[in-house]
Amino acid sequence: MTRTYELSHLRALESEAIHIMREVAAELERPVLLFSGGKDSIVLLRLAEKAFRPGRFPFPLMHVDTGHNFPEAIEFRDRRVAELGERLIVASVQESIDKGRVVEETGPRASRNRLQTITLLDALEEHGFDAAFGGARRDEERARAKERVFSFRDDFGQWDPKAQRPELWNLYNGRIRKGEHVRVFPLSNWTELDVWQYIEEEALEVPSIYFAHRRRVFRRDGMLYALAGFTELIDGEQPFEATVRYRTVGDMSCTGGVESSAATIEEVVREIAATRITERGETRADDRVTEAAMEDRKRQGYF
């Protein structure tokens, strides 16, 4: 009797991501894993557990904190890191502002999102990291669709989409010169629905803002933004209470919520399976600045 052994779609993605993580740990000297408390980096942590437990992770975790992040995500970040017993480095945009490394924007549309680039590059250089794991996926946005799994960055942290290395099958090239580094995306081939189905299958905890809840918001450019201490309203904008949830947990100044009644992971999976709008297209103002907004930021060193 012949037995066949087939991986499910999610287990095939999991296997590929674990292979990528182990490959980086073997090839590069000082990796770091970016962890924001968002769903994609939560999945990365789970994959790292499967790749390296029962030992400690062979890299620390790092979060670039704008100071304008959702409090629920920060609380979750700190609690999850403590549960894992791993080391977290917090790179602060506020410190970059205080040191004069970046200049804070002003006005009602001011955002610290773009300022993260300098804070990230400074932290990578300070700690000597030569590889940074991120939770970016190709289905999120057209510039991210151009990225390789091992995405090369030059001495200035910049990305050139026309100078990427070929990746055949599961062969990755991690050779870099001093000062250069790679951004590594183990979830490149995952979709938003894959991520949520994996969270459901693995019974992973996520921050409460991913589920429907009542929140004071205001409407701008078709999106619902959360009221926060730094919020500056434009004439005519009126705060109101709505039932919303978030598809991403980015900086509050540029991340919109969606009206939703999905209060469980099962309901979120059904909602994502039915939607025809990408998460960044529906909820991220920073990608609406220009047609090439994400690619422009990535060229400068953004994740």
What pLDDT does 113 receive?
A: 86
Alpha helices in 53-189 (DSSP H): 71-84, 93-98, 116-127, 142-145
Say what the pLDDT of residue 162 is: 84
- Classify residue 221 as left (phi > 0), alpha (psi -120 to 50) or beta: left
The pLDDT, as a whole number, for residue 287 is: 62
Q: In whole angstroms, what is the distance from residue 189 CA to residue 43 CA?
A: 13
Q: Is 9 exposed, middle or buried (0-12, 13-18, 19+ CB in 10 A)?
A: exposed
C-alpha pair distances (Å), 293 with each of 32, 125, 146, 219, 273: 26, 25, 14, 22, 27
User: Bridge partners of 218?
Assistant: 225
pLDDT at residue number 277: 83
Q: pLDDT tens for the chain, 303 residues: list them.
A: 677 778 899 999 999 999 999 999 999 999 999 999 999 999 999 999 999 999 999 999 999 999 999 999 999 999 999 999 999 999 999 999 999 999 998 988 888 888 999 999 999 999 999 999 999 999 887 778 888 999 999 888 888 888 888 888 888 988 998 889 999 999 999 999 999 999 999 999 999 999 999 999 999 988 999 999 888 999 899 999 999 999 998 899 889 999 999 999 999 999 999 988 888 777 776 666 566 676 776 777 767
Q: How many residues does the chain have?
A: 303
| Distance from C-alpha of 196 to C-alpha of 202, rounded to nearest angstrom | 10
Copy the structure tokens of residue 256.
């919109």
Residue 29 confidence (pLDDT) = 96
- Rounded to whole angstroms, the Cα distance separating 204 from 210 reads 13
The predicted structure's pLDDT at residue 286:
65
Distance in angstroms (rounded) separating the CA atoms of residues 66 and 145: 25
Give the number of other CB atoms < 10 A from CB of residue 257.
23
